[in-house]
Structure 1
Amino acid sequence: MTKPVGLTKNNTWQYGIRRTVPMPFHQVWDFLFSKKGLSLWARHPNTQFSTYIDRSHIRTKWQLPGWSQPVILQLRVLAGNQKTTIAIHVEKMLHQQQREEARKYWETTLLYIQNALKTQVE
């Protein structure tokens, strides 16, 4: 039998998404951790990050409204050649429905972030 996408060997669920923007790394990182940037993505995470590596990544607890317990969120920013990738990874979800809710949330949130970054350049 085929294991469903996102189900881990520990029987928890995970989800990851990446989006690349044609902007320098430092500009993307600075925006994500600015007041405006945080207002776009840090509405539900605990901003007392369990891990904060400047110019690299954060890890924290994250919970959508209606969820019974928090899960783990990792946000990583990766430098490329004239572009930057924003990578989101959510783990320790209890079931497939949470994974789907996380997928919808982060797809929409990353669109907001991409649009906000685009307006900074114009």
Structure 2
Amino acid sequence: MIDTGTVGKTRDVGWQIGVSKTLPYPIDAVWSLIVGDPSLWLGAGSEIPHDKGVQWQSDDGTTGELRSRHESDRVRLTWRPSTWSHDTTVQVAVQATPAGTVLRFHQERLAGPGERQQQRGHWQAALARIERALERSTGTA
């Protein structure tokens, strides 16, 4: 349920942000890149575990735990940069459409509106890196 007085804040998960883009590529190509090269969105040195409850870490000290992984659909995990004092939850999801694949990032349990705005930029940059990687891998750059 959305708190109608504050954009981006819900009663259930607090501050949240979502960004998405329809990419002109098949879902298999997008999913393979998301799970095969998570450095594009989780950070260098990161790998997405296959089993629920397994920890992950990137080279910059961001850590988390896999909550769920549904192949060719979504990954849900906790996400906590080394400079933060709290965990957030990130979900990345793909959905096939006639125009290609919708790629969505959703992050919840953010500390406030400033962190929400910061993370909007973070996920928009991640989408751009993924799109460039897809262009390079398919020769459409």
Alignment size in residue pairs: 118
Runs of 4+ in 1 over 6 A off after TM superposition: none
Q: TM-score, normalised by structure 1?
A: 0.88
Q: Is the 1:45–1:60 contact (alpha carbons within 8 Å) kept by the matching residues of 2?
A: no
State the Cα deviation string for residues 51-93 of structure 1 (Å, max 9, x = none): 1111110110012342211100011011111400110110111
Unaligned runs of 5+ in 1: none
Query: Any conservation in 1 of the 2:13–2:108 contact (CA below 8 Å)?
Result: no
Q: Deviations over 1:14-58 (max 9, x none)?
A: 100101110111111011111xx2111122453x41111111101
Structure with the higher fraction of residues in strand conformation: 2
RMSD over aligned Cα atoms: 1.6
Alpha-carbon offset, residue 5 of structure 1: 1.4
Q: Give the corresponding residue for 2:54.
A: none
- Which residue pairs with 2:29 in the alignment? 27
Return 5+ residue gaps in structure 2 as ranges. Answer: 44-61
Q: Distance in 1 between matches of 2:101 and 2:66?
A: 22
- Higher RCO, 1 or 2 (CA under 8 Å, sep at least 6)? 1
Partners of 2:35 and 2:13 in 1: CA distance: 33
Summarize the Cα distance change of 1:82–1:45 in structure 2 as closer, same or farther, 3 Å threshold. farther
Q: Normalised by the size of structure 2, how large is the TM-score? A: 0.77
Alignment of 1:93-108 (within 5 A): 93-108=110-125
Instruction: From the two aligned structures, give the one with the greater helix fraction.
Output: 1
